[in-house]
């Protein structure tokens, strides 16, 4: 049997002639292969939740090179086919590679033109196989991926929101936040999320999460993108900024009350 063979083509297996310097992020492992050892350029949290008409997803548009804010205007949320959105934190180049896989997948699916199409559940399952197979080769795609979507099934409209990480752990939830968001945003989502939220309410909630992350996650930036997916299709809104307030006493004099010799 050839379970999961769809992801067998290994994009990392380019023949190396030794001219490639080793040691940065990829390490040579015998002739012809290299494996990711640690990430280079990384994106921070993705926030996503189900609401009345579908799924809303949000992130900032930054990508860091270690502690340097290397890119300030990159899209980390993309549409996949007709029914799904994908958002990624982690290594940005690996995300772009995943987008190439998905492009190929959705294109060939579309070309059948037979009335069948991949929904968010199928895309999530496929990506889970890809991520898990790559970790089995000790050559992971260094991302946490969030897949959201809506598709009309035989039992009516079905909303879907799922996540998969770099080693293949995966699950479905009503609201998901990756990276720092899992610590800072999830508590907010747990208390304020409702299944029947309107889009406006969902945007407000998501902005609240993004703002908390902006204050507390040093790698986040004040340029955000929101995307939604409904039965009408995917909409990715242009980037915008949130109003911040830095006048809190604790922000103005953070050392006050801290006892120490310096």
Q: Does 40 bind other proteins (CB under 8 A)?
A: no
Q: Nearer Cβ to other proteins, position 2 or 243?
A: 2
Annotated catalytic sites, by residue?
Answer: 36
Q: Which of 6, 75, 97, 192 binds other proteins (CB under 8 A)?
A: 6
- Comparing CA positions, the residue from 209, 214, 171 lying closest to residue 189 is 209
Q: Which of 129, 143, 145, 219 binds other proteins (CB under 8 A)?
A: 129
Q: In what order do the strands lie in the sheet with 175-177?
A: 175-177, 46-51, 54-60, 224-230, 233-236
Q: Nearer Cβ to other proteins, position 112 or 246?
A: 112
Q: Which of 10, 11, 22, 38 binds other proteins (CB under 8 A)?
A: 38
Write 72-77 long-range contacts (CB < 8 A, 24+). 72/221, 72/223, 73/223, 73/239, 74/43, 75/225, 75/236, 76/43, 76/46, 76/225, 77/46, 77/225, 77/227, 77/236
Q: Does 115 bind other proteins (CB under 8 A)?
A: yes
Q: Does 67 bind other proteins (CB under 8 A)?
A: no
Say if residues 223 and 241 touch (Cβ distance below 8 Å). Answer: yes
**Could you tell me the smallest distance in angstroms from the CB atom of residue 249 to other proteins?**
30
Q: Which of 4, 199, 203, 222 binds other proteins (CB under 8 A)?
A: 4
Counting Cβ atoms within 10 Å, is residue 120 exposed (0-12), middle (13-18) or buried (19+)? buried
**Could you tell me the smallest distance in angstroms from the CB atom of residue 163 to other proteins?**
8
- Comparing CA positions, the residue from 102, 47, 96 lying closest to residue 71 is 96
Which residues contribute to the site for other proteins (CB under 8 A)? 1-6, 36-39, 112, 114-119, 121-122, 124-126, 128-129, 132, 135-136, 138, 140, 153-156, 163, 166-173, 182-183
């Amino acid at each position: 049997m050839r379970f999961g063979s769809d992801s067998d083509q290994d994009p990392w297996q380019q023949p190396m002639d030794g001219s490639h310097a080793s040691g940065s992020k990829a390490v040579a492992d015998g002739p012809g292969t290299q494996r990711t050892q640690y990430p280079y350029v990384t994106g921070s949290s993705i926030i996503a939740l189900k609401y009345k008409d579908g799924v809303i997803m949000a992130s900032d548009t930054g990508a860091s090179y270690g502690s340097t804010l290397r890119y300030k205007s990159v899209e980390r949320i993309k549409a996949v086919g007709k029914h799904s959105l994908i958002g990624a934190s982690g290594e940005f180049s690996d995300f772009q590679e995943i987008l190439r896989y998905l492009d190929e997948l959705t294109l060939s699916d579309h070309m059948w033109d037979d009335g069948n199409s991949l929904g968010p559940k199928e895309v999530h399952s496929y990506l889970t196989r890809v991520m898990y197979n790559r970790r089995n080769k000790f050559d992971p795609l260094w991302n946490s991926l969030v897949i959201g979507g809506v598709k009309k099934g035989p039992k009516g409209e079905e909303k879907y929101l799922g996540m998969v990480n770099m080693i293949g752990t995966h699950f479905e939830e009503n609201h998901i936040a990756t990276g720092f968001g899992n610590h800072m945003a999830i508590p907010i989502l747990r208390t304020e999320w409702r299944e029947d939220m309107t889009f406006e309410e969902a945007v407000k909630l998501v902005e609240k999460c993004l703002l908390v992350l902006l204050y507390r996650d040093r790698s986040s930036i004040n340029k955000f993108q929101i995307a939604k997916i409904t039965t009408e299709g995917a909409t990715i809104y242009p980037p915008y900024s949130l109003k911040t307030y830095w006048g809190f006493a604790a922000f103005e004099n953070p050392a006050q009350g801290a006892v120490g010799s310096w």
